[in-house]
Homo-oligomer: A and B are copies of this chain.
Amino acid sequence: MYNFEYKNPVKILFGKGQIAKLKDELPAGTKILMLYGGGSIFKNGVYNQVTEALTGFDVVEFGGIEPNPTYETSMEAVKVVKRENIGFLLSVGGGSVLDATKFIAAASLYEEGDPRDFLKPGKDKVPVQKALPLGSVLTLPATGSEMNGNSVISIRETTEKLAFGSLHVMPKFSVLDPETIFSLPDKQVANGVVDAFVHVIEQYLTFPVDSPLQDRQAEAVLLTLIEEGPKVLANRKDYNASANFMWSATIALNGLLGVGVPQDWATHGIGHELTAYHGIDHARTLAIVLPALMDVKRKQKEAKLLQYGERVWNIREGSVDERIDQAIRKTVEFFESVGIPTRLPDYGVTMDTIERIEKRFAARGTKLGERYDIDAAETRKILEKQL
């Protein structure tokens, strides 16, 4: 096992009716900016629950944060924060609203330069030193953003999708009420299941470092997503299935699965490019990239691919390559069974985009994967598999 540091002070309030507790979690005497997205919270009753809980607080609203939230929209919110003298940010929505809220929290207190500094790839990245406090009411299990300090922001101007992370932007609290997902469309449930699934895989499917507890805990989340995801899709009002899915998505990326082990975030790194160029839903880009990455890196990941196949899919027969093929096939079948296609032509992506990504990664000197050996050329190879 590797050495590690871990700290996660996010307070979780989980279960039906917990939105009412907001009033005990928010700081008194502070002006609050409530941020949300395209308006689904008006349809599912969450807006009403939240505003009721906020009775007596001084609240300003900022709506219209888009999926794959942008730097440009976030900077509009920063203007509101400054103009209105906001002291606390409350994200009400899914991972996109929350990621934007994290960026806004940091950008609002950054006077030293352009907040895009936080997003720069590689060693040019400027670390966040301070941020406004924030909390969240989650309405879409997927990103795990509710219990970590990560955020992904798109820059419209440059067609880039970039990540940053900081302890300073961890939510003070996150309210997770499984009933808020009863009205989600199938597509968003499926995206959430796949996003959470791939988060686990990226902390698990690398090479063995004798970490049996982390391995088993990762497999626990994978098995639960495989079991509960389809239940939620089949019956959106199944409270326990929704709760198990929601909690699995949080555990998938609250950092605990990844302590002391190598990690491989190449699927996210490559997937972000497909979103940047084509606006493909984040989870769908992961479903495209992951099976191809498993295939291309089958030698390097052999031991963990076999373990994954055996413990998650019960694959015990055949040669090493046959078992790995089966594990990849099972993964693809799972993604497709929840309605997510895994090939580039399904999304209208052609060789042209692959070449643009290759060129961009070459210019950036990108090196992804647990051994930092997935460069521009190998990224091309991975994407070509899905043409």
Which residues does A use to contact B, with CB under 8 Å?
A: 1-18, 210-213, 216-217, 219-221, 223-224, 227-228, 240, 243-244, 247-248, 251, 256, 259-260
Alpha-carbon separation in the docked complex, A228 to B210 (Å): 11
**Which B-chain residue is minimally distant from A14 (CB atoms)?**
B4
A341 to chain B, nearest CB (A): 28
Alpha-carbon separation in the docked complex, A8 to B6 (Å): 11
| A10 and B11 contact, CB distance less than 8 A | no
**Which B-chain residue is minimally distant from A223 (CB atoms)?**
B216
- The residues of B that contact A13 with a CB separation of less than 8 Å are 5
A216-B224, A260-B243 known; A12+B6 contact, CB < 8 A:
yes
Q: List 19 A-B contacts (CB under 8 A).
A: A1-B243, A1-B247, A4-B14, A4-B15, A5-B12, A5-B13, A6-B12, A7-B12, A8-B8, A15-B260, A212-B224, A212-B227, A213-B244, A213-B251, A216-B219, A220-B220, A247-B260, A251-B256, A256-B256
Alpha-carbon separation in the docked complex, A211 to B247 (Å): 10
- The residues of B that contact A210 with a CB separation of less than 8 Å are 240, 244
| A211 and B244 contact, CB distance less than 8 A | yes
A237 to chain B, nearest CB (A): 14
A381 to chain B, nearest CB (A): 34
Alpha-carbon separation in the docked complex, A227 to B11 (Å): 33
- The residues of B that contact A219 with a CB separation of less than 8 Å are 216, 220
Partner of A5, one of B6, B14, B17: B14
- The residues of B that contact A220 with a CB separation of less than 8 Å are 213, 216-217, 219-220
| A259 and B14 contact, CB distance less than 8 A | yes
- The residues of B that contact A243 with a CB separation of less than 8 Å are 1, 260
A263 to chain B, nearest CB (A): 16
Alpha-carbon separation in the docked complex, A305 to B297 (Å): 41
| B3 and A18 contact, CB distance less than 8 A | yes
**Which B-chain residue is minimally distant from A247 (CB atoms)?**
B213
Partner of A221, one of B211, B213, B260: B213
**Further contacts, 11 of them, CB under 8 A, given A15-B260, A251-B256:** A5-B11, A6-B12, A8-B8, A9-B9, A14-B259, A14-B260, A212-B244, A213-B221, A220-B220, A243-B260, A256-B256
A238 to chain B, nearest CB (A): 10
| A11 and B7 contact, CB distance less than 8 A | yes
| B212 and A228 contact, CB distance less than 8 A | yes
Alpha-carbon separation in the docked complex, A219 to B3 (Å): 24
- The residues of B that contact A17 with a CB separation of less than 8 Å are 3
A282 to chain B, nearest CB (A): 23
Partner of A248, one of B213, B251, B259: B213
A101 to chain B, nearest CB (A): 20
- The residues of B that contact A3 with a CB separation of less than 8 Å are 14-18
- The residues of B that contact A260 with a CB separation of less than 8 Å are 14-15, 243, 247
- The residues of B that contact A16 with a CB separation of less than 8 Å are 3
Alpha-carbon separation in the docked complex, A256 to B7 (Å): 14
- The residues of B that contact A15 with a CB separation of less than 8 Å are 1-4, 260
